[in-house]
């Protein structure tokens, strides 16, 4: 039977419908996941190693957790995950909710703490999920959590710092923690020049570490008549205010590029799309980013667009050939903002309109 998740909006309000695991979530939909930080009286943190069969981060150390199934509460889910992944049978009153991190890509996270005094050798591993366990001094764990080879329960820097602070207080006997206040900063995943994930993030606006790159996306929407949809950058934008461009932006930490492209299209125009509707036109290496350029066909009149305040303030359709003649000159930005890089790829849109959908060769 397929695994189902309950769906929530960005504020954790139930949407009263479910979603099948493995399928992409629509913009504005979120599911709930849980993680538990297990500690002992010696001040150590229990980590399990992700099995080599895992698609994402095989062999990395992590804290026990997983997705909340449809009909489960957060607490019921973490008790189940503990049993399945470690063999630890805990009682609900033994768990303390440390922190909630909302809107981490398409997931709301509940992070718990548990005190357990067993030996790592007593952990019962779940085939295909975990294959080793170890205790690590808490301060050592804080140094490596979120770096290459070790996942961190909290992703954004402010939440990581708060998690470590609250865990210290938990070890001192605290058992109640208030919600964090204020908007969380946007994080980007970091990659090397060859697009290998480095297992680290950077907060948007901060300088990128040397020799690192983030992911960015641009999407060229076309209507049934082959016209390109352009939006105008709002007058308050620090770069290129009043310039025309196709929708796009930066992928958030944990977000796949096609998902990011769909989110950016929806945020900037109100047009919904699914990743499987997109066609990848090009992958470009920019000075600080790996950029994926997509095309999609969406026949939406201008009157039905919803522009994003502060980002876009107008929209227009241009015939493809007219746009190709203007793009990269005057006040028409090319997708990457580097016309010479885009030039070999934009003519592919003619083939796209003729029905071609695979440009990988």
d(Cα 345, Cα 341) in Å, to the nearest integer? 8
Render pLDDT for 311-323 as a digit per residue (tens, 0 to 9). 899 999 999 999 9
DSSP structure string for 30-66: BEEEEEEEEE-TTSEEEEEEEPTT-SSSTT-EE-SEE
Q: Which CATH architecture has domain 4-185?
A: Alpha-Beta Complex (3.90)
In this prediction, residue 142 carries a pLDDT of 92
pTM more than 0.75: no
pLDDT digits 0-9 by tens, 230-272: 999 988 777 889 999 999 999 998 899 999 999 999 999 999 9
Closest CA to 307 of 250, 228, 232: 232
Please answer whether residues 169 and 235 qualify as being in contact, where contact means their C-beta atoms are separated by less than 8 angstroms: no
Residue extent(s) of CATH 3.90.79.10 domains in the chain: 4-185, 214-353
> Residue 254's pLDDT is what?
86
Q: Mean pLDDT of successive 10-residue segments in the chain (361 residues)?
A: 89 92 87 97 95 89 95 95 95 94 88 96 91 95 90 89 92 87 75 93 84 97 96 86 95 93 93 95 96 96 89 94 96 95 95 93 72
Centre a 10 Å sphere on the Cβ of residue 13 and count the other Cβ atoms it contains: 9
158 with 152: CB under 8 angstroms? no
pLDDT at 195: 96
Please give the CATH superfamily to which domain 214-353 belongs.
Nucleoside Triphosphate Pyrophosphohydrolase (3.90.79.10)
Pairing of strands 289-297, 214-222: parallel
Q: What confidence score (pLDDT) does residue 236 get?
A: 78
Helices (H), the chain: 74-86, 138-144, 157-171, 257-269, 320-326, 339-342, 348-353
What's the pLDDT at 186?
81
The structure tokens listed for 66 are 């997983």
Angstrom CA distances, 124 to 5, 127, 187, 235, stand at: 26, 9, 34, 58
């Amino acid at each position: 039977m397929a695994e189902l998740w309950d769906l929530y909006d960005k504020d954790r309000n139930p949407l009263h419908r479910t979603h099948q695991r493995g399928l992409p979530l629509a913009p504005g939909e979120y599911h709930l996941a849980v993680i538990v930080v297990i500690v002992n009286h010696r001040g150590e943190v229990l980590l399990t190693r992700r099995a080599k069969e895992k698609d994402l981060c095989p062999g990395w150390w992590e804290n026990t957790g997983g997705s909340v199934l449809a009909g489960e509460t957060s607490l019921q889910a973490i008790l189940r995950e503990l049993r399945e992944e470690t063999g630890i049978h805990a009682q609900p009153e033994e768990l303390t909710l440390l922190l909630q991190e909302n809107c981490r890509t398409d997931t709301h996270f509940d992070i718990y703490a548990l005190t357990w005094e067993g030996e790592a050798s007593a952990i019962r591993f779940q085939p295909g999920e975990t294959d080793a366990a170890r205790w690590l001094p808490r301060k050592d764990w804080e140094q490596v959590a979120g770096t290459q080879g070790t996942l961190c329960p909290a992703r954004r820097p402010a939440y990581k710092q708060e998690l470590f602070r609250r865990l210290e207080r938990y070890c001192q006997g605290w058992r109640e923690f208030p919600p964090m206040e204020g908007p969380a900063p946007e994080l980007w995943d970091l990659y090397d020049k060859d697009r290998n994930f480095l297992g680290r993030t950077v907060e948007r606006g901060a300088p990128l570490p040397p020799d690192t790159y983030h992911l960015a996306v641009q999407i060229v929407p076309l209507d049934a008549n082959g016209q390109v949809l352009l939006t105008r950058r709002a007058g308050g934008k620090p770069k290129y205010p009043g310039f025309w461009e196709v929708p796009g932006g930066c992928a958030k930490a944990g977000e796949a590029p096609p998902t990011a492209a769909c989110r950016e299209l929806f945020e900037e125009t109100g047009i919904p799309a699914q990743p499987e509707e997109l066609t990848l036109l090009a992958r470009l290496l920019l000075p600080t980013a790996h950029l994926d350029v997509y095309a999609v066909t969406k026949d939406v009149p201008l009157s039905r667009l919803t522009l994003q305040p502060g980002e876009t303030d107008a929209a227009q359709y241009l015939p493809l050939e007219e746009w190709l003649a203007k793009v990269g000159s005057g006040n028409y930005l090319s997708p990457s903002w580097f016309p010479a890089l885009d030039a070999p790829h934009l003519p592919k849109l003619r083939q796209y309109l003729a029905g071609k959908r695979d440009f990988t060769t």
